[in-house]
A = this chain, B = another copy of it.
Amino acid sequence: MLLNGHGGPELLQLDELPVPVPGRHQLLVEVHATSVNPVDSKIRRGGAVPRAMPIILGFDASGVVKGCGPDVSGWREGDLVFGCPSLVGPGANAEYVLLDARAAAKKPASLDHTAAAALPLVGLTAWEALHDRARLQAGQTVLIHAGAGGVGHIAVQLARLTGCRVITTAGRPESIAFCRDVLGADEVIDYTATDFAARARELSGGRGLDVVLDTVGDDTFRRSIDCVAPGGQLMTILPSTPGDRAQVLLFRSITVHYEFMGARVANDLDPGRQGAILSSLANLADRGLVRPHVSAVFALDRLADAHRQIDTAHTIGKIAVAVRAA
């Protein structure tokens, strides 16, 4: 499924390309399922780094190994695999995709391909942000924005498993119910009715939060600064700027982590770390402790509809895309 120009979902069109050939560290993967993330929509609209057309989007994959590059070890043809294709290369909206073998992992046995394909990008983002960057500790109070969203719903689960008290934000009744009843968040702030920063501060006893994960950006990022505790940490997955709140970041000696899960593979920055994270996530999934929530599955030839759904910004959990019949 190729994107031939920047604009609306109608620019996504089926076409035929040769099967790609794996590079040194790459796997050739027969894609059974992929997913749509907000980053697909951002690239489609032209809001990210300029790239040559046509572009194959789709930065999650679950499928079957069909070939290995010369320096690949630990994988063989027929293995079931899940992972993220490079964010700066061809994606998985296709019958075949290349994955960095070091950054991929064995598919969780308990999840079908559509559920498995819902996990890598958001799971890596949430894990890197909470564990690798913020080094989350049991007993901390954490604010996770948009707990019903893709990254948010995995982050809430990981933070609860770590032993943290989890506060999250949501705006629609079904999102609030999902955060509370399905994810088990300790507190859900309706950001449409309440000043979330004031409320989160209040819930922390006035001190502010140890860790805040911003998945919304811009004004949400800036207002979040007001509820981070002195010495606390703020993570964002967007190119947010503090503006006039930089003075607060300074006075409270706050750390801001900009988290982009694509940076590891794009920069060859220990991509094996992501393989290890995905293996841990697969283990948690197989033990029933982390569950990717798939709210809709679209066939690949209906990818444009999947984009229209993600563009509502009202998706609960994830949108999966089935490339082959299960």
Q: Could you list which residues of chain A lie within 8 angstroms of chain B, going by C-beta atoms? A: 49, 128, 133, 230-231, 236-243, 246-247, 249-264, 266-267, 269
Rounded to whole angstroms, the CA-CA distance of A186 and B258 in the bound complex is 30
Known pairs A239-B250, A243-B241, A260-B250; A267 contacts B49 (CB<8 A): no
Number of copies: 2
| Residues from chain B with Cβ under 8 Å of A239 in the complex | 246-247, 249-250
Cβ contacts under 8 Å, A230 to chain B: 263, 266-267, 269
User: A254–B250 contact, CB under 8 A?
Assistant: no
Q: How far is the CA of A195 from the CA of B24 in the complex (A)?
A: 37
Say how far A236's CB is from chain B's closest CB, in angstroms. Answer: 8
Q: Which of B240, B242, B263 contacts A251 (CB 8 A)?
A: B263
Contact partner of A258 among B249, B258, B264, CB < 8 A? B249
Question: How far apart sit A264 and B251, CA to CA, in the bound complex (Å)?
Answer: 10
User: Are A250 and B241 interface neighbours, CB within 8 A?
Assistant: no
Closest to A238 in B: B250
Which residues from chain B contact A242 at a C-beta distance below 8 Å?
241
CA distance A241 to B242 in the complex (A): 6
Task: Using A231-B267, A243-B241, A267-B231 as known contacts, say yes or no to A251 and B49 having CB atoms under 8 A apart.
Answer: yes
Chain B: CB-nearest residue to A262: B251
Partner of A253, one of B240, B243, B247, B259: B259
Taking CB atoms, residues of chain B closer than 8 Å to A241 are 241-243, 246
Chain B residues, CB < 8 A from A250 = 236-239, 258-260
Bound-complex Cα distance A263 to B249 (A): 11
Cα distance A237–B238 in the bound complex, in angstroms: 23
Are B133 and A255 touching (Cβ within 8 A)? yes
> B243, B257, B261: which contacts A255 (Cβ < 8 A)?
B257
Whole-angstrom distance between the alpha carbons of A260 and B258 in the complex?
Answer: 20
Residue of B nearest to A242 (CB): B241
Task: Tell whether, in the assembled complex, residue B252 and residue A255 are in contact, meaning their CB atoms are under 8 Å apart.
Answer: no
Using CB atoms, name the residue of chain B closest to A208.
Answer: B267
A5–B238 CA distance with the chains assembled, in angstroms = 42
What is the CA–CA distance of A242 and B128 in the complex, to the nearest angstrom? 22
**Across the interface, do A267 and B246 meet the contact criterion of CB distance under 8 Å?**
no
Decide: A240 and B246 in contact? CB cutoff 8 A.
yes
A267 cross-chain contacts in B, Cβ below 8 A: 230-231, 252
